Structure 1
């Protein structure tokens, strides 16, 4: 493992530990999906995105829209680790008077580019941002996180048609395909089939990667940037609850409560991982 890979894996572990730090106030939260997207967030914030923690509104920055907004704690964790706001804010997630509500909120949180709403809406808002940036002749990329269960939503596919028609080639969507949604497996609830092939049929540049392999994720993003004709989608094959000892092997791990003992065990596991990577 070279230094670049080690650094990204370390950042992913730090993000996961920070998620738990934030959720420890209420001892509950959207653990599963927050953990499964942490490696991709590490690649975005550790390597791929143009960002400036000291100037969150920098006009040349890349934008990120997290349509699976219930996983806001994962994004907050990445922002806290990168220094967008004090780490102490994490302890206030979803508490009265917090700056960090459960879902991403651009009006309260430095570094959040779009407030998220109902599942599917992030597709439309991300494409609106991308189209606006093109109009302004701004070459920044717009990144979009979708959940695989979220791809049940018709709005996602309307957006897919719009993006390919307008050739929004600076859009890179990442689908967290952890194969579960709130109350079961995606294939049992509303089977969308092969997501990469479906997006290809909508004339997107599509790739499938291991969503926990930081180098594969980074290479896929670089491949997306090299082609200049289409919007891009990267299907991340992930494990819901990845690297969280009390969540990874639990079936219903979309939103969970947990005990102090479970939290301590999960933190110990992540501390050992961070120590190995440091």
Structure 2
């Protein structure tokens, strides 16, 4: 177990460094740094520890978090380093929001918040009948959960007994316009999902051990919610809990500072 944690920590470090390099290369186009760094550990644990990449499927609702998504896909072998070098470039297969490309492990074209969950429910319903051992994972943002379609999917997943479905909410408490609490606060997702007949657990979304434990829960008859409490821009001082870095340009000076901070944490 300790070796697994050491391995995952090293991979997360690599993902974060690569994400910063991608953001720097994006130049004046900018990138969604805050939301990417809030779910970096979640993506690493899913792709490098939990998921059976031959049969499981992943859908991302907070599709702007591609810095975490693409770097996880690269670590898992779906993408090449050369693919990451073309992030946000004209003609690239890796734009600022993902385009469906099953060969590259991308099952859903994202960008419109609130839609991915229902697609994931449909996929889980299909797999329940055709490949019962396969699982469907979906990652949502907490701001995204203000969409009514999210709660339709919550009810449907419970109604159909989708015990092959895991929903993870990246609860970083911030969205584009401000704090989720000030815009349309939804507190205690675990309690709300349980009311709709889901199993649920709340974890520190930056703790590898807690994520692995939660994602390893044996499901019996119900879908599972993991409420991951996170920080937007986690681990980078000038980004952490800073709404300006929902989407922003990364300067060379900021890039170097961020690398220094990461090296202190991981080396």
* TM-score, scaled to structure 2: 0.94
Deviation per residue, 1:82-109 (Å, 9 max, x gap): 3222112212212101010111222386
State the secondary structure of the residue aligned to 1:253: helix
**Superposition map of 1:63-74 within 5 A:** 63-74=57-68
2:226 maps to: 234
1:149 to 140, 143, 146: 143
State the secondary structure of the residue aligned to 1:234: strand
Aligned partners of 1:93 and 1:108: how far apart in 2? 18
Aligned partners of 1:85 and 1:251: how far apart in 2? 30
2:44 maps to: 42
Contact 1:23 1:91 (C-alpha < 8 Å) held by counterparts: no
**Superposition map of 1:69-218 within 5 A:** 69-107=63-101, 110-218=104-212
- RMSD after superposition: 1.6
State the aligned residue count: 265
2:15 maps to: 15
Deviation per residue, 1:125-159 (Å, 9 max, x gap): 10111011112134211000000000000000000
Structure 1: stretches of 5+ with no match in the other structure: 52-57
Structure 1 ranges of 4+ moved more than 6 A: none
Deviation per residue, 1:165-193 (Å, 9 max, x gap): 00000100100000000121101000112
* TM-score, scaled to structure 1: 0.91
Greater mean deviation of Cα atoms: 91-100 or 32-41: 91-100
2:242 maps to: 250
Shift of 1:116: 1.6
Structure 2: stretches of 5+ with no match in the other structure: none
